[in-house]
Amino acid sequence: MDAVVTVLYVLLLVTAGVAGAGLRGSQAPGAAPRPPIATMAAFVLVAVPSLLQLTLAPALFEALRRDRAAIGDGQLWRLVTSFVVQDSGWPGTIFNLLTLAVLGALAEQHWGPARWVVLALTVQVLGDLWGLVVQPVGAGTSLVIFGSAASLAVAALLLETGPRSRLPAIVSLLVALVLLVLGDIHGGAALFGAVVGAVLVVNRRRRRPNGSTRPR
């Protein structure tokens, strides 16, 4: 079962990345790509404590992780700090950092840095609350990664993109639904990311009565 879930993870992220890459066509012609400042900051924010946790300061994991008992006692900051430590050792840390760099940059390029930060914080907190039900103890950057991926998939479906973006977007969201049904924490994170992404698209359209889909 673990192998199947891992395949589903990879499938969701890869197809969302393909869909997100297709969203570049909705940008203003000739516009220079925006440097992913928020993603770079998040990368450093994750890399430093994660590397310390895995080397010199292993106690960081227990101090910052998601823990249902501790959160129930009032340590609500764990809903956010569990983002910066990892529960899957070196392989998971490297994977999370790489996928954060790629999918975070794609999401930030489409939504803009401020909206991406709002998206990330919303998915992190709500995903951790879902985690209190399905995985009471844990940590990692993957909630934000899966939420960012799902937001890109939803945007590819709702905006004027071609089938090369929409088809992988559909696959990504269907996989997210399967994970949610399986009670996987990443399925919940993807759901929240999809909802936030849909809200952002709707708000953008309301501000642009001419129907333009170009991001600000």
Q: Is residue 28 part of a domain?
A: no
**Nearest CA to 190 among 143, 156, 155?**
143
Residue 213 within any structural domain of the chain: no
> Please, where are the H alpha helices in the chain?
2-22, 37-54, 59-64, 68-72, 78-81, 89-111, 113-134, 142-158, 163-181, 185-207
Is 91 part of any domain?
yes
User: What number is the average pLDDT over the span 193-206?
Assistant: 94
Question: For residue 199, how many other CB atoms are within 10 A of its CB?
Answer: 14
Residue 30 falls inside a structural domain: no
pLDDT surpassing 90 at residue 204: no
**DSSP-based three-state secondary structure for 88:** coil
pLDDT of residue 31: 54
pLDDT confidence of residue 29: 47
Number of domains in the chain: 1
Any domain includes 194 = yes
pLDDT class for 32, splitting at 50, 70, 90? low
Share above pLDDT 70 across residues of the chain, in percent, rounded to a whole number: 91
Angle at 166 between CA 108 and CA 40, to 5 degrees: 15
Q: Which pLDDT belongs to residue 209?
A: 57
Q: Across residues 79-98, what is the average pLDDT?
A: 97
67: β partners: 137
Which CATH number do you get for residue 188?
1.20.1540.10
The CA-to-CA distance between both ends of the chain, in Å, stands at: 43
Residue 197: pLDDT band by 50, 70, 90 thresholds?
very high
Q: Is the pLDDT of residue 151 over 80?
A: yes
Give the pTM.
0.92
Residue 110 lies in a domain: yes
Between CA 50 and CA 85 the distance in angstroms is 5
The per-residue pLDDT of the chain, averaged, comes to 92
Is 88 part of a structural domain of the chain? yes
* pLDDT, mean of residues 100-115: 97
* Structural domain for 130, as ranges: 2-23+36-207
